[in-house]
Amino acid sequence: MTADTPPPQRPMASGAKIIRYRGVIKRYGGFQALGGVDLDVHAGEVVCLIGPSGSGKSTLLRCTNGLEAIDGGDIEFEGATLPRDERALRAVRTRMGMVFQSFELFPHLTALENVAEGPRTVLRNDLAKANRRATAMLAKVGLADKASSYPSALSGGQQQRVAIARALAMEPDVMLFDEPTSALDPETIGEVLSVMKKLADEGMTMVVVTHEMTFARRVGDWVAVFEAGRIVEQGPPTQIFDAPTTERTRDFLSHLGWTG
Amino acid sequence: MTFDWSVVWQHRDALIAGTATTILLTVATMAIAVPCGIVVAILRLYGWAPVRALAAAYVEFFRNLPLILVVFWAFYVLPILTGLGLPPLATGLAALALNVTAYNAETFRAGINSIRRGQVEAAMALGMNRVQALRRVVVPQALRRILPVLASTWVSLFKDTSLVSVIAVTELAYVSMQIRAQSFRVLEMLTAMAAIYWLLGYPQAKLVDWIQRRFAVTE
């Protein structure tokens, strides 16, 4: 039933495979959240995971950095199977940045301290070095002037940009975005998407769970459509959005009112 | 009935010394019971199953005994257990610390439980281990959140230190009662004692309110 069609045109396919999902299975009790997912993410690619709520997109993302353990199949990161051992897993996590739907900034720390926290605590940078790095990352997301603000004083869009800066401060090889704009007011979605677009243009490898079809279409290099824990179709955005090959993709997009 | 307030002034040195001991007992008890309370709470939340059960048993044991009983218990049992003849002050401190640690452990446990799971996930996604996530992310937030509860524990403790007078710790209540017994100036000494407790307790409560406002975290 999976329509794992051979990739017709995949511009980054020559690049190294950064993440390989092979037959990934995840169960919660009797519920099968992922029922055998195959997907490749190449270096420099933006891979968008779309599909209805509860179809397994976020679960796959959370399995990628081991926040959830898989029950079957295999996830490879940079050529090595994702370790089960906590210590080895932590080393992998330092090379994957993650951005959450609900931001999850640390409310007791300023924007600068939030961004410097990873370099300080995990990479053991000294304070001056961590702060220099944090300042640069805040500037990159356009929030240099908010360094000393606490998260509660920032808008949702600003908080999410700080969260992106916090993930970038670890100098990750890949960025995982879990519905980064779903909790935002409509007027602040744009500022977050444009930061993400800029990252993509700089060549960052990104896996993005999103309901923003315009973003998936314009910025995505590869789109995977999820339904009930499986990928029902994957391909370049032109295929998914203009000439979907499966009824399920067409159904999903028409429910969203997607008109191309 | 005539009052003779000079008895208070006459014994000012003893009263000041007693007050100092009361403050010392309060500060020392909290200095022990806050870190120990955090440790017990963490053991109860994340420990190996038998350790969790032990921590829970400790909390439920000391939380549900009258403090005065724990004070007497410490006075008679601690010397047998440790083989040391502990001075009354150390015995009283031990009893208070055992009791307040149990209360603080429950307070911290509630505080830690109130921090969203996503905060730990965000910390782990950065590559932190569980101890780092607790130390850098969860505990600092939990501490701020439970400040009001710790504050009322502090104010209660300040008054409850008077219970160690039953084992002759020379704190404010014991000293006042001694002077009363010697001078027969009952109402004067009780009033003086009340005034000292209140005048010291009220600013502490206010100070704690201020700390709470100063360090409150809004989400």
**Considering the domain boundaries, does residue B190 fall inside one?**
no
Q: Is the pLDDT of residue B136 over 60?
A: yes
The C-alpha of B127 sits at a distance from chain A's nearest C-alpha, in angstroms, of 5
The DSSP string of A187-239 is: HHHHHHHHHHHHHHHTT-EEEEE-S-HHHHHHH-SEEEEEETTEEEEEE-HII
**What ipTM does the predicted assembly reach?**
0.91
Contact B129 A107 (CB under 8 A): no
**Considering the domain boundaries, does residue B92 fall inside one?**
yes
Q: Report the 3 state secondary structure along B126-142.
A: CCCCHHHHHHHHHHHHH
The total number of structural domains in chain B stands at 1
Predicted confidence at residue B59, as pLDDT, reads: 95
**Considering the domain boundaries, does residue B59 fall inside one?**
yes
List CB contacts (< 8 A) between A107 and chain B: 141, 217-219
* Nearest by Cα to B11 from B19, B22, B3: B19
**Considering the domain boundaries, does residue B212 fall inside one?**
no
CATH number at residue B80: 1.10.3720.10
Angle between helices B139-160 and B12-46 in degrees, nearest 10: 140
**Considering the domain boundaries, does residue B210 fall inside one?**
no
Predicted confidence at residue A1, as pLDDT, reads: 44
The C-alpha of B43 sits at a distance from chain A's nearest C-alpha, in angstroms, of 20
Higher pLDDT among residues B83 and B69, named by residue? B69
Grouping H, G, I as helix, E, B as strand and the rest as coil, residue A66 is: coil
**Model confidence pLDDT, tens digit, residues B150-171:** 888 998 899 999 998 888 888 8
List CB contacts (< 8 A) between A105 and chain B: 122
Q: Quote the DSSP letter at residue A119.
A: I
Predicted confidence at residue B94, as pLDDT, reads: 92
Task: Give the span between the Cα atoms of B172 and B174, in whole angstroms.
Answer: 6
**Considering the domain boundaries, does residue B180 fall inside one?**
no
Q: Is the pLDDT of residue B80 over 60?
A: yes
Q: Which structural domain, as residue segments, surrounds residue B163?
A: 16-172
**Considering the domain boundaries, does residue B101 fall inside one?**
yes
Q: Is A108 in CB contact (< 8 Å) with chain B?
A: yes
List CB contacts (< 8 A) between B141 and chain A: 106-108
The pLDDT tens digits along chain A (260 residues) read 445 555 456 777 767 889 999 999 999 998 999 999 999 999 999 999 999 999 999 999 999 999 999 999 999 999 999 998 999 999 999 999 999 999 999 999 999 999 999 999 999 999 999 999 999 999 999 999 999 999 999 999 999 999 999 999 999 999 999 999 999 999 999 999 999 999 999 999 999 999 999 999 999 999 999 999 999 999 999 999 999 999 999 999 988 877 65
Q: Is B125 in CB contact (< 8 Å) with chain A?
A: yes
**Model confidence pLDDT, tens digit, residues B203-212:** 888 887 787 7
Q: Is the pLDDT of residue B23 over 60?
A: yes
Predicted confidence at residue B167, as pLDDT, reads: 87
**Considering the domain boundaries, does residue B54 fall inside one?**
yes
List CB contacts (< 8 A) between A87 and chain B: 129
Confidence of residue B9 (pLDDT cuts 50, 70, 90): confident
